[in-house]
Chains A and B, each alone.
Chain A
Amino acid sequence: MYLYEYQAKRLLKEYGVDVPSSVFIEAESLFQGSEQDLKKGLDAHLSDRVVVKVQILEGGRGKRGGVVAVPRGEALREARRMLREWRGAAGVLVEEYVPHSEEYYLSLLLDRERRGITLLASRGGGVDVEESEDVLSLQVDPFTGPLPHHRRMLESHFGAVPADLLEKLFKLFTERDLTLLEINPLILSGGRAVALDAKVTCDPAALYRSRLPENPEQYTPLELAGRRAGLAVLEMEGRCAVMANGAGLTMATLDYLASLGISPRLFLDLSGTDDPEKVREAFHIALRTSPEAILVNIFSGMTRADTVAEGILRGMEETSVEVPVIVRLHGTNYEIGRRMLRERGVHVYETLPEAAEHLRALLEGG
């Protein structure tokens, strides 16, 4: 899960890491707020030269004109130009321009391969750090945090850094359940370290305690509805909605359909459930994508087949669907589940190839 730069910088500031003075202007207030107030806000906080940065969740904005240094008086005009270009941006960050000669890269990463916390540091920040060969990579123990030798290693690479910089970053990284905290570029001058740009990703499983914004706009409305219902949902561009239980099985189902030339329109992982209502809700979400057909593939373990059947029937009943529904049902209580569906005229099969064959015939015929 991503945070915007302005959110990342608020976090850094909260943990005592220097960031340039800045004013964040929401997209809405930039077009609707009073020009006078906006201008006053900038004049009060910023120097004569500023950097205007569009606030979007994906990277690469710098290469596309989304980061521009201008005199303060031109900031609002520049900001409006950016927002007309980047529909859906959260706003712009107008920052004090900080002159500097050298840039550095510094990050903390929850490292899947090493099963630890990795610190990466490189001289020369900028856009191509990943390709740079001059990268210092250190492991930081999750229990001790950074120790003096980490700072010594970093200083032998960077020159002097503020004494408590690593501690502050580590505290932010662990207390707020971040999975990546990347400062690029970082500038060092006169004993100060200033984060000019920051990229933060966080653990969605920890939102209940990490006090971080959820930024729902990074999901489509449908994906959001899925999240609220405890379902993993991904929208795609194909023809057929696919519902299955369990991430692996849902992926395997999509892969098999794709091998038959059937393109998926929706990936919906029901996960485990013992409530037919959750299945009914999933069914509604599938219908909202206006698929040409819905394929349900269930191998029931914790989720019982009769529970799924009940949910499907409820969903179909309420919506009086015209969309064909094809079900593959196996596992715990499959006899009951299959009987329930057959009695109501739903096509139900024992294996996925049988169900997929029916689906293919149907899509080709239509």
Chain B
Amino acid sequence: MAILLQQDTPVLVQGITGHTGRFHTVQMLEYGTRVVAGVTPGKGGERVHGVRVFDSVREAVRVTGAVAAEVMVPAPHVLDAVLEDLEEGIELVHVLSEGVPQHDTLKMVRLAKSYGAVLVGPNSPGIAFPPGVKMGIIPNMVLSPGRVGVVSRSGTLTYEILHHLTASGIGQCSAVGVGGDPIVGLTMEETVELLLEDSQCAAVVLVGEVGGRDEIRAARLRDELPMVAYIAGRVAKPGRSMGHAGAILKEGESALEKIEVLKEMGVRVAETPWEVPSLVGEVMGE
């Protein structure tokens, strides 16, 4: 059984009537996700590719029974959208939006915990569980079913690595983008803890980058599951954010320092994204 999201989990999409919302609602439906409702205040009654749009989360939940929410609204509205979800009993919230103020994120993370809900993101590309259910925008074409759990802080770099895994015949049970911001909900470590409970999962790929120490904490579980890591940002400039708000080089958090620590812990570290599949093959064979 997949972690976080099941084949029959009813999902609502906040911001479904926007450009991104429309496009990726179709992608989610095509992949197999049960998208049952959209929410855009003021646009209740419309339909997006057959999905009914509601004015409020309360109405959407009452009519469709949605328990998971995909948040694709502009960053200044994310706190509002997430709180509306939590108050209506949504159990899983995925936030795609980039550029959410960190003080807002901090509040969301605290409140999600106190409501007993799981928050993934913000600035997360998505969560996907091949063969047939996902939230967010991870391209369907790079996914294939199998036994590897990919846990990542990036978007396109994750697609690249998923693509190489799939092309090498190594399928995935989970692909979880935790988000590229300094503070996010579900951490890499918590994701790996969930993967430990997934009997499908036989190995973990950690896709990290400069900044923070989340990869190192996740790697503490290396004895429970074989792990391969790739860490981007060896060329980062100190003190400057490398595209992601969370990718800032500070002491002890450089890509090279983290690579060294991971190697000392016994984690296999790939030099390039396309080296990941062969290392995964090796650790799964051991």
Contact = CB atoms under 8 A, between A and B. Distances in A.
Interface string A327-366: 0001110000000000000000001110000000000000
Given A110-B183, A115-B109, 20 more contacts: A110-B106, A115-B183, A177-B101, A203-B101, A209-B76, A232-B241, A234-B240, A244-B156, A246-B157, A247-B155, A247-B244, A248-B158, A248-B180, A248-B244, A251-B234, A252-B273, A259-B272, A301-B156, A301-B159, A352-B274
B160 interface: yes
Interface string A151-173: 00000000000000000000000
Nearest to A142: B106
Interface string B76-116: 10000000000000000000001111110011011000000
A236 interface: yes
Q: Name, among A254, A301, A352, the residue most crowded by chain B CB atoms within 10 Å (CB to CB).
A: A301
Interface residues of A, number: 51
Interface stretch (A38-46, A266-274, A279-287): A266-274
Contact of B213 (A113, A234, A236): A113
Given A248-B158, A301-B137, A110 B209 contact: no
B135 interface: no
Given A112-B182, A115-B109, A246 B235 contact: no
- Indicate the size class of the contact surface on chain B: 35 or more
A60 to B, nearest CB: 13
B243 interface: yes
B62 interface: no
Interface in B248-264: 255
A246 B242 contact: no
B282 to A, nearest CB: 20
A256 interface: yes
Given A174-B103, A232-B243, A254 B182 contact: no
A127 interface: no
Contacts of A272: 155
B236 A249 contact: no
A254 B139 CA distance: 23
Nearest to B273: A252
Contacts of B15: none
B228 interface: no
Contact of A203 (B102, B154, B244, B247): B102
A259 B237 contact: no
A264 interface: yes
B101 A247 contact: no
B126 to A, nearest CB: 9
A206 B103 contact: yes
Nearest to B76: A208
Contacts of B241: 232
Contacts of A294: none
A295 to B, nearest CB: 14
A174 B102 CA distance: 10
A252 B100 CA distance: 24
A250 to B, nearest CB: 6
